[in-house]
Chain A
């Protein structure tokens, strides 16, 4: 049977990356080298999920470290699906939003609901961890099954058609889905912050009333830092290359 697990779980399953890469190149024409997967896993670790075949004897369990209920790491189970996702780095509309870089499920494991579960997990993480307004993706116009999943099951809407999006010349639907409903309630968190502060003040006998913490650090969070990594060049270049390849 198949388990859907976070790539960045507790403990971490980052050692699944080579098998995710193999799953991708087995199923899809759009491929990437491992560093691009690493770039996703180390920039938006919350957003990617993996479908693995549970080994016959189950997973190992740890009594001294993390994973008393089961630990996938170091077992290299067969990967039969994955979603690789990210946040758009420079959103044209200024709204932080997620993007599905790649999603696939092995032909031998279709119709078990794997793709849907992978998508839902990633969508929720985008909303919670990154306060994404929406998630966007591209899909081949000929890919009826995928279209049905995104539109009918998950509720995506077609935003536009991108002519010749794929390397072989096929057009793509650009689709998106609003995620704001799943956002965390910041007001409630801030309220709890204030309560905690008061308690601490009481305990410490501190006279300080505690200032509004709400706006502190906000600037930092919104400031987008453009950084470069790359093999010789940079992952920044990787992204551009990847899009160029898709065109």
Chain B
């Protein structure tokens, strides 16, 4: 039986609750102790003490006490509620929901418990549970509009659109014609929310009717206009749709979607270039400074019409000295004819100049600006992959720089040219020069840091970043970058560490980005209550749906791909746990045991040195800011594992990797690289079914993908040489599925040779075919090496493909010198073929 309190202690207990609500946690604990001195087993008091403790960072003690409280009083809604709140703080949502449910069963009328339960159900997307909770809350307080809206959201997200609409209408009916004032935004938003639900049912006719009846009093004017235009267009009410898109363009002529709508409404055929051009010209006339209406016609015009329009566009922008001209037109280059026209035109401006006398003779400022803009344009043009000629690019950028030595953009382009030359070191140097021209600009600072990372100079990059971060944050510059969720830097930093085979740090950064996504998912929690009070329901529902596909974001995909690669490398080369091992010219496999031990020892020593360095830095920071507080006022402690040792010293990298891989495959099933990596992981885990599933997915995306080709061969070989047969049902499915991709009856050598001859135009396919041959006929190795060397003679091999050739040799365990020397000769400005 739970203890009962004296009336004095009861009033003390109420004080404990009050202190907690007032955020006076320490007082709460003190007062609770007073009660507990006389009633040491009073569950509710113990629970409230635990809750207060949880707010001042004593989470472990709080949990222990909350459990004791439960033991002492299993029949109290307070002990269960508190236990649920603690679980929620620990993000153990499923258990928290259970605890809240127990509490609610004991105290069915409690609004706070009901509310806390509802919030978690939303967070967990338990829509049926959420509907039950919100129904109960509405019944308890039907006077609040929020409660009606919330129930409508519950039905809406659960997929019951009709019920959602009905709830909203029922509330409207209670107003009995007393329309809320136009300034009532909650009403305005609820109206549009209802309208969007009607549209979602597919009954656009009714949605439009509703919008026309109520839209005039909704204050989100732009939204009403966009919705109306879309409905009209979908209903095929062309004249009205035309008016609607015209109205939108009058507000914002810089949105190509509105032009699309207008063109669809007017029923202008895609091929009717003349009509299209006339339409855009009208908008140029109305908005002479608007770029879109001038630029879009270049997309569809052809031949002489294109040339004329491009000429006008280019000259105008060059005369204005718009630095973004090239990025604004490069998309045209997928059409080689247009690319050549643009090149001819701009080169022509320069030769026209030359014919009209030298630059010095009429060298006023305006003229110089035109000239330097033109050189700058050509530099970018020849640097672009679809029109690349790097020596011309360099020539032009030098001329531009000569005319405007202080133009940051010109130096940035020069750095990019060096990057494409395959010389990350020079590229980083040039970007640094650009940075020094404008040290107060963060954009150029960002680029300089990025180029430092591409040059594997993590330390320099961080130092550059520190010029714009709050370095007094716990953890210094890196701490601030984490706090500000600087995903680009953390990802690039990780990739640079991965290239250097510093796997601990690489994993560390990948995990940081992973955790940022977790935070973003967690971030929605507060809005479940907040948005109901604010009434911006459409935005809230949009947010919920976006959170459900959060990890489709390319930031996640890129990070996860890197993280999977790092884990695979760690699995294949466990020695890397001690830091990077120099791989030498002959690849890792061929180093003998003695050498290996020596290298390991060296690596360990280097790692110790780095750890010491990191510890020193930390001590210095600590001394500098004894009471450093982070931005949100909590005192934060330094990361206990800054080098990522705990991550890299894992027993089972192929288990850890699933944390990254599973969401990657779920969110981006159409990414062929992700599927191929999935195969690599699952085949190492001997999960044949999952492995074949990845192969099949990759095959349906790109059947001749080079990575996939080699994987198919490897999988066939491994199936044919299993040390023990697969269990019967598994074998049946695996064989049936895999037979569709690469039939068992297929002669593998023939299959591989035909792949090679079918794809001989593509270097990456040739790499895969040669690797396949090497795999099937190890004795062909020297011939394969010769053939690989010959790929360097191909006229259209890119430097990136050539670099990939080095990795191929690495995997074969081949001698790389000849290949590297030949490549160096072909790309004399490059540094990437210098072997160390």
| Chain A contact residues, CB within 8 Å of chain B | 1-6, 8-12, 14-15, 18, 21-22, 25-29, 31-35, 38, 41-46, 53-54, 56, 58-59, 61, 63-72, 74, 76, 106-114, 117, 121, 124-125, 128-131, 142, 167, 184, 186, 189-190, 192-193, 196-197, 200, 208, 210-211, 213-218, 220-222, 225, 227, 229-235, 237-238, 241, 245
CB-CB under 8 A for A8 and B554, given A129-B219, A208-B177: no
List 17 other contacts, CB 8 Å, given A70-B256, A220-B181, A232-B634. Answer: A2-B254, A15-B553, A18-B520, A25-B446, A26-B446, A28-B442, A34-B523, A69-B233, A69-B260, A107-B408, A121-B251, A125-B220, A128-B219, A130-B185, A217-B181, A222-B183, A245-B470
Segment of B327-335, B638-646, B702-710, B792-800 engaged in the interface with chain A: B327-335
Q: Which of B199, B260, B527, B546 contacts A66 (CB 8 A)?
A: B199
Give, as a whole number of angstroms, the nearest-CB distance from A89 to chain B.
11
B98 contacts the other chain (CB 8 A): no
Q: Point out the residues of chain A lying under 8 angstroms from B446, CB to CB.
A: 25-27
Query: Top 4 nearest A-B pairs by Cβ distance?
Result: A69-B261, A229-B526, A12-B542, A70-B257
Whether B290 and A113, one on each chain, are in contact in the complex, defined by CB atoms closer than 8 angstroms, is: yes
Q: How far is the CA of A18 from the CA of B261 in the complex (A)?
A: 28
Whether A5 and B539, one on each chain, are in contact in the complex, defined by CB atoms closer than 8 angstroms, is: no
Whether A42 and B230, one on each chain, are in contact in the complex, defined by CB atoms closer than 8 angstroms, is: no
Give, as a whole number of angstroms, the nearest-CB distance from B414 to chain A.
15
Whether A108 and B539, one on each chain, are in contact in the complex, defined by CB atoms closer than 8 angstroms, is: no
Segment of B529-537, B590-598, B727-735 engaged in the interface with chain A: B529-537
Whether B324 and A110, one on each chain, are in contact in the complex, defined by CB atoms closer than 8 angstroms, is: yes
Count A-B pairs with CB separation below 8 Å. Answer: 280
Whether B183 and A108, one on each chain, are in contact in the complex, defined by CB atoms closer than 8 angstroms, is: no
Q: Point out the residues of chain A lying under 8 angstroms from B323, CB to CB.
A: 107-108, 110-111
Q: How far is the CA of A64 from the CA of B542 in the complex (A)?
A: 18
B372 contacts the other chain (CB 8 A): no
Q: Point out the residues of chain A lying under 8 angstroms from B199, CB to CB.
A: 66
Mask, B332-352, CB within 8 Å of A = 1, is: 001000000000000000000
Whether B520 and A34, one on each chain, are in contact in the complex, defined by CB atoms closer than 8 angstroms, is: yes
Q: Point out the residues of chain A lying under 8 angstroms from B536, CB to CB.
A: 42-45
Give, as a whole number of angstroms, the nearest-CB distance from A41 to chain B.
6
CB-CB under 8 A for A8 and B538, given A68-B264, A69-B233, A220-B180: yes
Q: Which of A68, A215, A230 contacts B261 (CB 8 A)?
A: A68
Whether B223 and A216, one on each chain, are in contact in the complex, defined by CB atoms closer than 8 angstroms, is: no
Q: How far is the CA of A5 from the CA of B518 in the complex (A)?
A: 28
Whether B484 and A32, one on each chain, are in contact in the complex, defined by CB atoms closer than 8 angstroms, is: yes
Q: How far is the CA of A34 from the CA of B545 in the complex (A)?
A: 17
Mask, B198-220, CB within 8 Å of A = 1, is: 01101000000000010011011
| Chain B contact residues, CB within 8 Å of chain A | 177-187, 196, 199-200, 202, 213, 216-217, 219-223, 226-227, 229-230, 233-234, 245, 251-252, 254-258, 260-261, 264, 289-292, 295-296, 320-324, 327-328, 331, 334, 408-409, 440-444, 446, 468, 470, 483-488, 519-520, 522-524, 526-527, 529-531, 533-534, 536, 538-540, 542-543, 545-546, 549, 552-555, 631-634
Q: Which of B183, B226, B227, B444 contacts A221 (CB 8 A)?
A: B183
Q: How far is the CA of A117 from the CA of B255 in the complex (A)?
A: 11
Q: How far is the CA of A28 from the CA of B179 in the complex (A)?
A: 45
26 chain-A/chain-B pairs, Cβ below 8 angstroms: A4-B254, A6-B226, A12-B539, A15-B553, A22-B486, A25-B484, A27-B442, A31-B484, A31-B486, A32-B484, A38-B543, A42-B539, A42-B540, A45-B539, A64-B202, A67-B230, A68-B261, A72-B257, A193-B179, A210-B177, A216-B178, A217-B181, A227-B534, A229-B530, A231-B522, A241-B632
Q: How far is the CA of A130 from the CA of B634 in the complex (A)?
A: 35
CB-CB under 8 A for A68 and B234, given A1-B292, A2-B291, A113-B289: yes
Q: How far is the CA of A27 from the CA of B441 in the complex (A)?
A: 7
Whether A3 and B542, one on each chain, are in contact in the complex, defined by CB atoms closer than 8 angstroms, is: no
Whether A43 and B534, one on each chain, are in contact in the complex, defined by CB atoms closer than 8 angstroms, is: yes
Q: Point out the residues of chain B lying under 8 angstroms from A167, CB to CB.
A: 470
Q: How far is the CA of A100 from the CA of B296 in the complex (A)?
A: 30
- B486 (CB) vs chain A CBs: closest residue: A25
Q: How far is the CA of A44 from the CA of B177 in the complex (A)?
A: 28
Q: Point out the residues of chain A lying under 8 angstroms from B328, CB to CB.
A: 1-2, 112
Q: Which of A8, A28, A61 contacts B223 (CB 8 A)?
A: A8
Q: Which of A8, A18, A46 contacts B487 (CB 8 A)?
A: A18
Q: Which of A66, A112, A221, A227 contacts B533 (CB 8 A)?
A: A227
Whether B291 and A112, one on each chain, are in contact in the complex, defined by CB atoms closer than 8 angstroms, is: yes
Q: How far is the CA of A189 from the CA of B181 in the complex (A)?
A: 10
Give, as a whole number of angstroms, the nearest-CB distance from B194 to chain A.
14
Give, as a whole number of angstroms, the nearest-CB distance from B656 to chain A.
25
Q: How far is the CA of A74 from the CA of B189 in the complex (A)?
A: 24
Q: Point out the residues of chain B lying under 8 angstroms from A6, CB to CB.
A: 222-223, 226
Whether B470 and A1, one on each chain, are in contact in the complex, defined by CB atoms closer than 8 angstroms, is: no
Q: Point out the residues of chain B lying under 8 angstroms from A38, CB to CB.
A: 523-524, 527, 543
Whether A46 and B633, one on each chain, are in contact in the complex, defined by CB atoms closer than 8 angstroms, is: no
CB-CB under 8 A for A42 and B530, given A27-B443, A208-B177, A210-B177: yes
Q: Point out the residues of chain A lying under 8 angstroms from B182, CB to CB.
A: 184, 186, 189-190, 193
CB-CB under 8 A for A221 and B181, given A10-B227, A43-B536, A45-B536: yes
- B265 (CB) vs chain A CBs: closest residue: A69
Whether A56 and B334, one on each chain, are in contact in the complex, defined by CB atoms closer than 8 angstroms, is: yes
Q: Point out the residues of chain B lying under 8 angstroms from A222, CB to CB.
A: 183
Q: Point out the residues of chain A lying under 8 angstroms from B520, CB to CB.
A: 18, 34
Q: Point out the residues of chain B lying under 8 angstroms from A107, CB to CB.
A: 323, 408-409, 441, 443-444
Whether A227 and B252, one on each chain, are in contact in the complex, defined by CB atoms closer than 8 angstroms, is: no
Q: Point out the residues of chain A lying under 8 angstroms from B183, CB to CB.
A: 131, 186, 217-218, 221-222
Q: How far is the CA of A144 from the CA of B256 in the complex (A)?
A: 31
Q: Point out the residues of chain B lying under 8 angstroms from A241, CB to CB.
A: 631-633
Q: How far is the CA of A228 from the CA of B245 in the complex (A)?
A: 39
Q: Point out the residues of chain A lying under 8 angstroms from B177, CB to CB.
A: 197, 200, 208, 210
Q: Point out the residues of chain B lying under 8 angstroms from A56, CB to CB.
A: 331, 334
Q: How far is the CA of A12 from the CA of B223 in the complex (A)?
A: 10
Q: How far is the CA of A174 from the CA of B259 in the complex (A)?
A: 37
Give, as a whole number of angstroms, the nearest-CB distance from A193 to chain B.
6
Q: How far is the CA of A8 from the CA of B541 in the complex (A)?
A: 11
Q: Which of A1, A27, A46, A230 contacts B222 (CB 8 A)?
A: A46
Whether B441 and A14, one on each chain, are in contact in the complex, defined by CB atoms closer than 8 angstroms, is: no
Whether B320 and A189, one on each chain, are in contact in the complex, defined by CB atoms closer than 8 angstroms, is: no
Q: How far is the CA of A142 from the CA of B584 in the complex (A)?
A: 53
- A113 (CB) vs chain B CBs: closest residue: B289
Q: How far is the CA of A241 from the CA of B483 in the complex (A)?
A: 14
Residue of B181, B199, B546, B554 with most chain A CB atoms under a 10 A cut-off = B181
Q: How far is the CA of A41 from the CA of B524 in the complex (A)?
A: 12
- B258 (CB) vs chain A CBs: closest residue: A69
Q: Point out the residues of chain A lying under 8 angstroms from B290, CB to CB.
A: 113
- B545 (CB) vs chain A CBs: closest residue: A12
- A226 (CB) vs chain B CBs: closest residue: B533
Q: Point out the residues of chain B lying under 8 angstroms from A108, CB to CB.
A: 323-324, 327, 409
Whether B257 and A5, one on each chain, are in contact in the complex, defined by CB atoms closer than 8 angstroms, is: yes
Whether B526 and A192, one on each chain, are in contact in the complex, defined by CB atoms closer than 8 angstroms, is: no
Q: Point out the residues of chain A lying under 8 angstroms from B488, CB to CB.
A: 22, 25-26
Q: Point out the residues of chain B lying under 8 angstroms from A106, CB to CB.
A: 443
Whether B216 and A34, one on each chain, are in contact in the complex, defined by CB atoms closer than 8 angstroms, is: no
Q: Point out the residues of chain A lying under 8 angstroms from B486, CB to CB.
A: 22, 25, 31
- B408 (CB) vs chain A CBs: closest residue: A107
Q: Point out the residues of chain A lying under 8 angstroms from B320, CB to CB.
A: 111
Give, as a whole number of angstroms, the nearest-CB distance from A126 to chain B.
11
Q: Point out the residues of chain A lying under 8 angstroms from B538, CB to CB.
A: 8, 12, 45
Q: Point out the residues of chain A lying under 8 angstroms from B440, CB to CB.
A: 142
Q: How far is the CA of A17 from the CA of B527 in the complex (A)?
A: 16
CB-CB under 8 A for A29 and B468, given A34-B485, A117-B254: yes
Q: How far is the CA of A13 from the CA of B221 in the complex (A)?
A: 17
Give, as a whole number of angstroms, the nearest-CB distance from B419 to chain A.
15
- B529 (CB) vs chain A CBs: closest residue: A229
Q: How far is the CA of A43 from the CA of B542 in the complex (A)?
A: 13
Q: How far is the CA of A43 from the CA of B185 in the complex (A)?
A: 11
